[in-house]
Amino acid sequence: MTYIDLNYQPRESDLLVWFYAEPPAGKDMKYVADRIAEESSIGTWTDLKTLLPDIWEKLRARVYEIDSSRGYVKIAYPLHLFEVENMPAILASVAGNVFGMKSVENLRVLDIRFPRELLDRYPGPRYGVEGVRELAGVYDRPFLGTIIKPKIGLPAKMHAEVAYEAWVGGLDIVKDDENLASQDFNRFEDRLSLTLEKKDLAEEETGEKKIYLVNITAPYKEMIRRAELVEDSGNEFVMIDVVIAGFSAVQSYREEGFRMAIHAHRAMHAAITRNPRHGITMLTLAKVYRVLGVDNLHIGTAVGKMEGSAEEISSIREEIQLQKVPPKEERFEQEWFGMNPVLAVASGGLHPGHVPAVVDILGKDIVIQAGGGVHGHPDGTRVGARAMREALEAKMQGIPLEEYAKEHEALRKALEKFLK
């Protein structure tokens, strides 16, 4: 039996997966395509007496396109194959055992097309871009944020003081780093209460709404306990390391019904996404997280210290923010049928000198986060935050940074340090 049916026209209800695949020595693309479809749907390595004809016809995957020159395989999966409201189980099929087979040399999921029948079963982001703008009171520009640095080591009181300096300097958002949890020198409860006190003070002094993204990542029961503390405190956001926490935890957390927006940090993603010949693209993961309901998602910067081209990062932004995403090389057309868009987050090695490029590449619906680029300013955190705000002001007014810096000392000193 073969799973290849090049005359098959995918149905609107099919879940589609676009693979890049390399066959092992001595085998061709038809061989590897058959093995992928077999393993990821209803088959195994040998003929089965238990694979009844009606099961075969109803549930088998169908390879409907093979491009041997580029290593592309497109497979359609009937939605009946899956427990539709169980994203972990869906991924266990289409992106699970297939990666470990000897019958593929390399394998990469380039994209997934989710059908409306599946999307209608998921709530998606509670707030999305417009909802987050309402929460933050920021409407006509990108958001500016920072990550407390050093990422680990500050006691809770000093953490709160650094957050305050960033907020009064002009930033909208302060975020915990991905590995700050509840260490003995900075307990979660202490950090939450002290930082929110400083947040209130910064709002009173600046007249602007301020946002604190507190990291609740932990084993699930503890993560929920921390979320309850955040909700009781009145804070509007939580942060979850979504790749590390796992698809099940993210889906379950969203279904708990908390009112806080979810800021999704993608730590560990590159272990899955970075190899261009094996793994799963960040584009695919971003689509999964939109379905699962995050409100903010780190997508890369195209500049700064993180890997990823401008074209790749722009494609990810489109995928999480548009309602109908046009097809491109290695990308399906995807319609989202009204599911809220996700606010994109650029973070990793950024400083004020990067602000114009980030806005040019990713637009206004973006959070521009600078950690070292704020706290590494020669005059400290508050002035570093002011330099970020001045850089954004210059960009929004169409003024080159070097010209704006002539009359704005914080920006001038930042550019002298970071662009030398």
Cβ-based neighbour number of residue 11 at 10 Å: 11
Given the residues 149, 269, 351, 408, the one annotated as active site: 149
What token pair was written down for 337? 């049928």
**Contact status, residue 305 vs residue 258, Cβ threshold 8 Å:** no
Any catalytic annotation for residue 364?
no
Give the bridge partners for 268, in sequence order.
none
Any catalytic annotation for residue 269?
no
Given the residues 199, 263, 265, 408, the one annotated as active site: 265
**Contact status, residue 114 vs residue 334, Cβ threshold 8 Å:** yes
- Give the separation between CA 155 and CA 138, rounded to whole angstroms: 30
- Give the separation between CA 95 and CA 165, rounded to whole angstroms: 44
Residues 296-334 as b or e (16 or more Cβ within 10 Å = b): bbbbbbbbbebebebebbbbbbbbbbeeebeeeebbbeb
**Contact status, residue 373 vs residue 350, Cβ threshold 8 Å:** yes
What token pair was written down for 311? 């074209």
Q: Which residues are catalytic?
A: 149, 265
